């Protein structure tokens, strides 16, 4: 990949060495510079996951994307720096029962730093990690945003499989721990992600096809957009909510709060109007 272009996109000018400091700096810079968004599925466009296409979209076109794109790009950059990176897959539990059996529909990364494993994930929308986490159970870990932790998940069956026990990633929100997803350490490969990506980007019932989503963390707060509902979550403070009243307001918000270069297609206005249920 073009590492210079990627670093220019995220504003990283640090040392290109496989250290924990580099991992932390790149992880934070990526999360804050490249937004989470689902305009391609919303428009009925494909979401290709080959590295060239991901670079074209997220780096050169000023767009964002969702987990498969974000973490594929981060993984390629980290490997080029010299990190050992393994792709993993998670079952999303966010806003679902803790024992729900969900598909492996989320991509995350295991990164080895000085023989110690870390979790990296720059693609979970409104609760995207802004720092890597040590792959260690029951350790509350600070990040530039909320505290996170990994805890043992109750097994679905008799016990842990060959890739270790399922772990749950949790964030502390309003004084309570909330689960994002559960995962084990079974390595995943490009075809595994292609299958999940195809379903999520094309199936009529996929939430990526039926509504607008965007998210971006910045210093001291997080921005989240669900259709025409804009929320600004302030760290250690109240959240602000605003209802956007036109396609123009939605596009302005995507360009400003989410630092997104909008695709130049006349179909965008119609797709946003439909997602936000604005009158024709």
Q: What is the pLDDT of residue 162?
A: 74
> What CATH number did the domain enclosing 265 receive?
3.30.2140.10
Q: pLDDT by residue (tens digit) across 179-211?
A: 999 999 999 999 999 999 999 999 999 999 999
Q: Catalytic annotation on 269?
A: no
Whether 197 is covered by a domain: the verdict is no
Q: pLDDT by residue (tens digit) across 233-242?
A: 999 889 999 9
Q: Catalytic annotation on 121?
A: yes
Domain count, the chain: 1
Whether 233 is covered by a domain: the verdict is yes
Q: What is the pLDDT of residue 29?
A: 98
Whether 133 is covered by a domain: the verdict is no
Provide CB contacts within 8 A for 18, sequence distance 6+: 78, 81, 82, 83, 113
Write down the catalytic residue from 30, 67, 166, 257.
Answer: 67
Whether 4 is covered by a domain: the verdict is no
Whether 270 is covered by a domain: the verdict is yes
Q: What is the pLDDT of residue 187?
A: 97
Question: What's the domain range around 263?
Answer: 209-276
Whether 113 is covered by a domain: the verdict is no
Q: What is the pLDDT of residue 71?
A: 98
Write down the catalytic residue from 27, 30, 70, 121.
Answer: 121
Quickly count: other Cβ atoms within 10 Å of residue 261's Cβ: 12
Q: What is the pLDDT of residue 252?
A: 98
Which backbone phi and psi does 59 adopt, to 5 degrees? -100, -60
pTM of the model: 0.96
Q: Catalytic annotation on 192?
A: no
Whether 266 is covered by a domain: the verdict is yes
Whether 1 is covered by a domain: the verdict is no
Going by C-alpha positions, the residue among 228, 194, 195 that lies closest to residue 211 is 228
Least confident stretch, 29-38, 95-104, 113-122, 210-219: 95-104
Contact 85, 110 (CB under 8 A): yes
DSSP H or E segment with residue 79: helix 67-81
Q: pLDDT by residue (tens digit) across 260-278?
A: 999 999 999 999 999 999 9
> Cα–Cα distance between 192 and 210 in angstroms, integer?
24
């Amino acid at each position: 990949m073009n590492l210079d272009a990627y670093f220019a996109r995220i504003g990283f000018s640090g040392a290109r060495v496989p250290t924990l400091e580099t991992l932390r700096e790149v992880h934070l810079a990526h999360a804050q510079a490249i937004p989470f968004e689902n305009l391609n599925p919303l428009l009925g466009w494909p979401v290709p996951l080959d590295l060239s296409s991901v670079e074209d979209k997220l780096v050169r076109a000023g767009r964002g994307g969702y987990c498969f794109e974000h973490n594929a790009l981060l993984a390629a950059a980290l490997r080029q720096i010299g990190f050992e990176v393994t792709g993993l897959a998670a079952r999303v539990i966010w806003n679902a029962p803790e024992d729900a059996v969900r598909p492996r529909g989320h991509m995350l990364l295991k990164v080895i730093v000085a023989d110690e494993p870390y979790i990296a994930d720059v693609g979970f929308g409104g609760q995207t990690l802004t720092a890597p986490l040590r792959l260690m159970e029951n350790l509350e870990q600070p990040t530039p945003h909320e505290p996170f932790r990994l805890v043992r998940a109750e097994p679905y069956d008799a016990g842990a499989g060959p890739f270790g026990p399922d772990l749950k990633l949790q964030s502390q929100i309003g004084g309570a721990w909330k689960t994002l997803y559960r995962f084990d350490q079974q390595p995943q490969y490009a075809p595994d992600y292609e299958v999940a990506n195809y379903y999520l980007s094309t199936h009529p019932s996929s939430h990526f096809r039926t509504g607008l989503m965007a998210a971006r963390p910045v210093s001291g707060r997080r921005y989240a957009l669900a259709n025409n509902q804009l929320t600004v979550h302030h760290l250690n403070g109240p959240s602000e909510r605003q209802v956007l009243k036109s396609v123009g307001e939605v596009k302005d918000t995507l360009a400003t709060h989410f630092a997104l270069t909008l695709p130049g297609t006349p179909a965008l206005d119609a797709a946003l109007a439909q997602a936000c249920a604005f009158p024709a």
